[in-house]
């Protein structure tokens, strides 16, 4: 058998690419990429010229078995996404699952990931955290989602696009108190990188008043609830949920 390499690519700054990632991409027989045109630019930058096969959310169920067959025939394949680590809000799941089920070695080539980069600079506790990927797109689904996250005691994170960052924070403010701590990490490793950590109400004000704060790519970190510290600030809804949780725990 060959091997399947899951290779992280930069999330902005092209220098955030490991020597090992470049070596592996030079060695493999085939690169499976989310968007072959996009990855060509990265490969050109590093002088890598390899056959490419597209593997995106619309064909990955179907195309994955073909790739696993090639690996079982002895070829080595690298999986890359448009930016960052494959599988993290990106394609790869059917391929990695099939490969592992069918006895193929799957090797990580770790590197950039917007979630981990944001957590590493956000200044919120990270001993435990949860990741929610992209939020529901409609306001009502988003608000229900925020309600479900209200009692969380550890830091949590989501990805957001420029089209929805303001609406997402506005919906959040209908559920969370205005003084809840959040961090918006924008354009990480790029020219306009901005990391803003403050109370939800204040961050939303910045996003509303500065159109640059609505441009680019975003990771949002949300502090977990600290019952001891925030007791005086709890809304009626938070008290109701905490009451239910405490009754269940006792
Ligand atoms: N697999 C990628 C990773 O490892 O981070 C994530 C891919 S997901 C399709 C794209 C989303 O990740 C963006 O909408 C944004 O929320 C986040 N993201 C990616 N690059 C980013 C960056 N440089 N700064 C902030 N957020 C970023």
Kindly indicate the confidence band of residue 237, based on its pLDDT and cuts at 50, 70 and 90.
Answer: confident
The predicted structure's pLDDT at residue 31: 98
Q: How far is the centre of ligand 1, averaged over its atoms, from the C-alpha of 102 (Å)?
A: 30
The pairing of strands 105-109 and 217-222 is unpaired
Q: How far is the centre of ligand 1, averaged over its atoms, from the C-alpha of 52 (Å)?
A: 22
Terminal alpha carbon distance of the chain: 54
The CB of 11 under 6 Å from ligand 1? The reply is yes
> d(Cα 25, Cα 49) in Å, to the nearest integer?
9
Residues 118, 197, 223: CA angle, nearest 5 degrees: 75
Region 110-137: what's the mean pLDDT? 97
What are the pLDDT digits (tens) for 143-161?
999 999 999 999 999 999 9
The predicted structure's pLDDT at residue 36: 93
Q: Are 111 and 80 in contact (CB under 8 A)?
A: no
Question: Which ligand 1 atom sits nearest the alpha carbon of residue 113?
Answer: 4
Q: Which of 82, 84, 109, 165 most suits a substitution to test ligand 1, by most atoms within 8 Å of the C-beta?
A: 84
Residue 232, pLDDT above cutoff 60: no
The CB of 155 under 6 Å from ligand 1? The reply is no
Residue ID of nearest Cα to ligand 1 atom 8? 89
Structure tokens at 72: 């079982």
The CB of 187 under 6 Å from ligand 1? The reply is yes
Residue 230, pLDDT above cutoff 60: no
- DSSP for 40-98, written as a single string: HHHHHHTT----EEE--TTTHHHHHHHHHHHHHTT--EEEE-SSB-TTSSSS-HHHHHH
Q: Which of 6, 9, 11, 110 most suits a substitution to test ligand 1, by most atoms within 8 Å of the C-beta?
A: 11
What's this model's pTM, rounded to 2 decimal places?
0.91
> d(Cα 91, Cα 17) in Å, to the nearest integer?
19
The CB of 160 under 6 Å from ligand 1? The reply is yes
> d(Cα 82, Cα 31) in Å, to the nearest integer?
12
Kindly indicate the confidence band of residue 130, based on its pLDDT and cuts at 50, 70 and 90.
Answer: very high
Region 52-72: what's the mean pLDDT? 94
Residue 133: count of CB within 10 angstroms of its CB: 11
Region 156-178: what's the mean pLDDT? 97
Q: How far is the centre of ligand 1, averaged over its atoms, from the C-alpha of 1 (Å)?
A: 33
The CB of 60 under 6 Å from ligand 1? The reply is no
The predicted structure's pLDDT at residue 236: 73
Q: How far is the centre of ligand 1, averaged over its atoms, from the C-alpha of 181 (Å)?
A: 21
The CB of 84 under 6 Å from ligand 1? The reply is yes
ipTM over 0.90: yes
């Amino acid at each position: 058998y060959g091997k399947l390499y899951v290779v992280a690519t930069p999330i902005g700054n092209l220098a955030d690419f490991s020597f090992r990632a470049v070596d592996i991409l030079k060695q493999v027989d085939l690169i499976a990429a989310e968007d072959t045109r996009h990855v060509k630019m990265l490969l050109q930058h590093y002088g890598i010229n390899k056959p490419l096969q597209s593997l995106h959310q619309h064909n990955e169920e179907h195309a994955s078995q073909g790739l696993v067959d090639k690996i079982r025939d002895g070829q080595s394949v690298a999986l890359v996404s448009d930016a960052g680590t494959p599988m993290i809000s990106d394609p790869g799941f059917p391929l990695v699952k099939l490969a592992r089920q069918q006895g193929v070695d799957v090797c990580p080539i770790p590197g950039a990931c917007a979630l981990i980069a944001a957590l590493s600079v956000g200044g919120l506790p990270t001993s435990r955290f949860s990741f929610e990927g992209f939020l529901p797109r409609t306001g009502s689904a988003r608000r229900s989602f925020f309600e479900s996250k209200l009692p969380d005691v550890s830091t949590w994170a989501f990805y957001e696009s420029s089209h929805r960052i303001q609406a997402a924070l506005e919906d959040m403010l209908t559920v969370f108190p205005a003084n809840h701590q959040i961090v918006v990490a924008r354009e990480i490793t790029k020219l306009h990188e901005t990391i803003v950590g403050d109370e939800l109400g204040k961050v939303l004000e910045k996003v509303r008043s500065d159109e640059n704060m609505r441009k680019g790519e975003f990771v949002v970190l949300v502090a977990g609830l600290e019952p001891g510290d925030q007791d005086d600030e709890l809304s009626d809804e938070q008290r109701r949920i905490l009451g239910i949780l405490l009754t269940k725990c006792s």
